[in-house]
Amino acid sequence: MGKTAVGAAVVCAAAAAAALVVRHRCGSSGKWERAVAIAKELEEQCATPTSKLKLVAEAMEVEMHAGLASDGGSKLKMLISFVDNLPTGDEKGTFYALDLGGTNFRTLRVQLGGNGKGIAKIEHNEVSIPPHLMTSSSDELFDFIATSLAKFISSEPEEFHPPPGRQRELGFTFSFPVRQTSIASGTLIKWTKGFNIEDMVGEDVVGRLTKSLEKIGLDMRVAALVNDTVGTLARARFGNQDVIAGVILGTGTNAAYVERAQAIPKWQGLLPNSGEMVINMEWGNFLSSHLPLTEYDKALDVESLNPGEQIFEKLISGMYLGEIARRVLVKMAEEADLFGDSVPPKLRTQFILRTPDMSAMHQDTSSDLKVVEKKLRDVLKIDNSSLEMRKIVVEVFNIVATRGARLAAASMVGILKKIGRDTVKDGGKQRTVIAVDGGLFEHYAKFRNCLESTVKELLGDEVGETIAMEHSNDGSGIGAALLAASHSQYLGITES
C-alpha cells in the first residue's frame, strides 16, 4: 500500500475505531448494544473499499461515453454547453454578469486587465424579486430585471464606457432547466424554485431578456448563457490553464469538464476551432449498481419530490447528508432508546438536521463534545445528552460523510479516466487541476480532506502527485462575466 492509500485510510476510516470506543463505553446494556449494532450495520452498508470505488469510477466513465454518444443514452445528460473558448487570462475590458437563480438576482461588473493581469475590479449588486413577479408574465419579470440592470450600468465609471460603436457584453447565468441551443440561446424547459410563468416555458430566455433590454434602449449583447458549474470551471481556468474540470459540492452537486470535440459523437455541427467543448455532465443523476445504498437512502428517495432521480446527488450533496443521518438517529431512538424513553419530536421533522449543523458536530474537537451537546439541544431540543450518546451521534455523521466524500472522489477519478489524466504519460508529469465550489468543500474540512486523500488513494502516489483541487468561488457571477469575455464578438480586435 502506497503513502497516499495509507493517508486516505487514516483520514477517512476513523469510523471503526469510534464504534469500538462507543461499544467499550456502553457496556453490556441491551439497548446500547442495539444502538451500536445499528451503527455497525450502517458502517457495513456504507462501506467504500478501494475496490468498490474503482468500480464506481469505471461505471462513471462508461456512462460518460454513453451520454456523449446520444441523448437519452445514459443517466448522465452530458449536455453540450457550447463553450468552446475558456478564458485564457489575457481577456481585457469591462464585462457584465446577470445571475438569476432564485428569489434574488445579482448584477456584476468585472474589469479585466488583459495580458495575464487578472481581474482589476469587481462591483456587484443584489436585487430581491417582488414575489408577485415570480408568477406574473415574462414581460413583467424581464422588464424588471432589465430596468435593474440598467440602473446598475448607470453607475459605470466613465473610463470604462465602451468605445463608440461597441456594445456592452453580458454573461447570463440562468439556474433553471434549459435546453441550450447555442452559446447564447436556450429554451426554458420548466420553472423551479417557486417561479411559475407559463408564457415563458419553451421560449428562448436570452431572446426574452434581449427584448426587455431593447425596450428601454439598453444596447447590450448577451454573449454567453451560462450554467453555474461551467462558470466554476471558467472562473478557475482564467487564472490557471491546468484546470480541466469544475465540480459543485454544495446543496446540490454537478460537474463539468473539457472534452475533445472529436470525442462527442452526438455533436452535430462543425467542430470548433479550439478542438474542445465543455460538457455539463449533470452527474447528480448518475446511477450504478456499485453505489452503496442503504435502507435510509431508499426511504429518503421514495419520499422525495423526484423519486428515482438524482440518486447520486442524494448520497453526496449537502441537501441530503444531514437528512440521511437524521433517519439513522430516528431508528436508534426507536429501537435503542438512544435519547430516552421516547423519540424527541423534533427528530421526526424531515430535513431539520441541516448539513452545516452536522458538519459542526462532526468536527467538534472538544474532549466532552460540547458543540455536539449544544447543537443537539438547540436544533433537536435534546437536553441532558450523555457523552456516550454524543459519541455515537458523531459516529453516524462520520460514516455518512465519509461515504459521500469517497463516492465524490471516485466520480472525479471517472472524469480523469475519461480524458486520460489517470496515468502519467511518457515525457513528464502533466499537472491537472479540478476546480471545486460549494459549502461541502469550502466549510466541511473532514469531507474535503477525505475527498482529496481518496482521489490520491485511487490514482496511486505517482499520478496523485500531479492532481490538485482548487477552490473556485462565484462561478455563477464572475465565471459568467469571464465567459462573456472569452466569447466576445470583439475578440482579436484591438481597442482604440
* Per-residue confidence band for 2, with pLDDT thresholds at 50, 70 and 90: low
Task: Please state, in angstroms and as integers, the Cα–Cα distance from residue 209 to each residue in 105, 186, 189, 342, following that order.
Answer: 14, 12, 16, 55
Decide if 143 is inside a domain: yes
Q: Residues 77, 87: one domain?
A: no
DSSP state of 121: E
Q: Calculate the CA dihedral of residues 75, 292, 247, 272 and round it to 10 degrees.
A: -30
CATH code of the domain containing 66: 3.40.367.20
Decide if 477 is inside a domain: no
Residue 74: predicted pLDDT: 95
| 282-328 pLDDT tens trace | 999 999 999 999 999 999 999 998 899 999 999 999 999 999 999 99
Residue whose C-alpha is closest to residue 182's, from 273, 100, 80, 72: 80
The pTM of the whole model exceeds 0.75: yes
Cα–Cα distance for residue pair 181/189, rounded to 1 Å: 12
| 141-166 pLDDT tens trace | 999 999 999 999 999 988 888 888 89
Q: Residues 58, 115: one domain?
A: no
Decide if 495 is inside a domain: no
CATH code of the domain containing 136: 3.30.420.40
Q: Residues 140, 65: one domain?
A: no
Provide the 10 A C-beta neighbour count for residue 176: 17
3-class secondary structure, 275: coil
Decide if 34 is inside a domain: no
Task: Please state, in angstroms and as integers, the Cα–Cα distance from residue 374 to each residue in 362, 371, 380, following that order.
Answer: 13, 5, 10
Q: Residues 323, 440: one domain?
A: yes
Q: Residues 199, 266: one domain?
A: no
Task: Please state, in angstroms and as integers, the Cα–Cα distance from residue 205 to each residue in 181, 186, 234, following that order.
Answer: 11, 6, 22
Average pLDDT of every residue of the chain? 91
Q: Residues 356, 337: one domain?
A: yes
| 23-61 pLDDT tens trace | 444 444 678 899 999 999 999 999 999 999 999 999 999
Residues in a beta bridge with 220: 168
Cα–Cα distance for residue pair 243/89, rounded to 1 Å: 12
3-class secondary structure per residue, 9-62 = HHHHCCHHHHHHHHHHHHCCCHHHHHHHHHHHHHHHHCCCCHHHHHHHHHHHHH
Residue pointed to by grid coordinates 426587455: 212
Three cell numbers at 401? 460523510
Residue 263: predicted pLDDT: 96
Decide if 5 is inside a domain: no
pLDDT at 114 over 50: yes
Decide if 40 is inside a domain: no
DSSP state of 289: T
Decide if 355 is inside a domain: yes
Q: Residues 419, 337: one domain?
A: yes
* Domain count along the chain: 2
pLDDT at 493 over 80: no
Residue whose C-alpha is closest to residue 112's, from 86, 94, 128: 94
Q: What is the mean pLDDT of residues 195-200?
A: 92
- For the chain, percent of residues with pLDDT exceeding 70: 93
| 72-105 pLDDT tens trace | 999 999 999 999 999 999 999 999 999 998 889 9
Q: What is the mean pLDDT of residues 179-204?
A: 91
Q: Residues 292, 346: one domain?
A: yes
Decide if 14 is inside a domain: no
Q: Residues 296, 161: one domain?
A: no
On the CB side of 341, CA atoms within 13 Å amount to: 0
Q: Calculate the CA dihedral of residues 263, 265, 267, 270 and round it to 10 degrees.
A: 70
Q: What is the mean pLDDT of residues 415-436?
A: 89
Contact (CB, 8 A) for 313 and 304:
no
| 345-396 pLDDT tens trace | 999 999 999 999 999 999 999 999 999 999 999 999 999 899 999 999 999 9
3-class secondary structure, 459: helix
Residue 28: predicted pLDDT: 40
Strand (E) or helix (H) holding 168: strand 168-174
Q: Residues 73, 86: one domain?
A: no
* Per-residue confidence band for 430, with pLDDT thresholds at 50, 70 and 90: confident
Which of residues 256 and 271 earns the better pLDDT score?
256
| 19-31 pLDDT tens trace | 444 444 444 467 8
Q: In the chain, how many H helices and how many E strands?
A: 17, 13
Residue 16: predicted pLDDT: 41
Q: Which domain holds residue 255?
A: 49-81+241-472
Residues in a beta bridge with 97: 108, 171
Q: Residues 278, 219: one domain?
A: no
How buried is residue 374: exposed, middle or buried, by Cβ count under 10 Å (0-12/13-18/19+)?
middle
Q: Residues 279, 379: one domain?
A: yes
Three cell numbers at 254? 454537478
Ramachandran assignment for 240, one of left (phi > 0), alpha (psi -120 to 50 degrees), beta (any other): beta
**Sheet of 253-260, strands arranged across:** 79-80, 276-280, 253-260, 243-249, 432-437, 467-471
Residues in a beta bridge with 79: 280
